[in-house]
Amino acid sequence: MIIFTVVPLAMVAYYAVTNKQGELSFEPMMKILIYKDAFIRSLIIAFISTAICLIIAYPLAYIMSRCRANARRTMVMLIMLPMWMNFLLRIYSWMMLLQDGGIISNIISFFGIKATLLGNSGAVVLGMVYNFLPFMVLPLYTVMLKIDNSIIEAANDLGANTLRTFSKVIIPLSVPGIISGITMVFVPAASTFLVSTYLGGPNDMLIGDIIQKEFPISRNVGSAMSLVLMVIMLIFIGVMNKFGDEEAIF
């Protein structure tokens, strides 16, 4: 296991600080500045996608946790169902739906609305939300399912209304699920590729796509970008874990 984990990471780190001749060089790192806009764009789109996933997943997970056992199992299966399909096929499916002459495009045109649904940042965000939403729903659902109903009943007995019970009891108890969901969505969303290639336009290239295209041309620059992206993701995970630990203390 160590061989398949440590060795590839060590090779990426080695190529990131060497040139094509194998000599120590920080030139690959300096070339990353050329793609700083792609880094920023990737983080912004990942943040937006994560926020939308949280907004959709939180009430959905809460409803699922309050349903009967049979209904819960059915809803979990429906959420997991798209994940059984190949990632690329899911993207192609959205291409067919969003392209000119597609189902969604025809429905919008029927109401007299003219809009380009494919080849923009909105389509990229939509693709990410669709692909990563289950990673937000499942941690939230698991945590909410463990919330003791007696705690909610006690809050109601003490005079708390539904809104106050939700804000003071349910949300604080579901923070571990929120943190896990944000981490599980943001990290792959920031580093994903193919989504922007097929659903976005020429100005929507994300860092994952650039890394994929850079490796065959210059593995040193590709490794440097991969290393920087990995460090950013590790920092993000560390911050989220730290925040989760502090919430657990309180």
Give 145-176 pLDDT, tens digit per residue.
888 888 888 888 777 787 888 888 888 889 99
* Closest to 89 in 3D by CA, of 118, 58, 36, 127: 127
Cβ burial of 4 (10 Å; 0-12, 13-18, 19+) is exposed
- DSSP at 167: I
Region 64-89 average pLDDT: 88
What would the two tokens of residue 168 be?
């003071």
- DSSP at 24: B
For residue range 202-223, list pLDDT tens digits in order: 888 899 888 888 888 888 888 9
What's this model's pTM, rounded to 2 decimal places?
0.88
Cα gap 234→240, rounded to integer Å: 10
Cα–Cα distance list, 225 to 24, 103, 208, 213, 228 (Å): 17, 38, 9, 12, 5
Cα end-to-end distance, the chain, whole Å: 37
| Residues 218-229: b if buried by 16+ CB within 10 A, e if exposed | ebbbbbbbbbbb
For residue range 2-26, list pLDDT tens digits in order: 777 888 888 888 888 888 877 788 8
Q: How many CB atoms lie within 10 A of CB 40?
A: 11
Q: Which of residues 25 and 233 earns the better pLDDT score?
A: 233
Cα–Cα distance list, 57 to 17, 47, 114, 182, 187 (Å): 41, 15, 30, 11, 17
**Scanning the structure block, which residue is given the tokens 């309050």?**
66
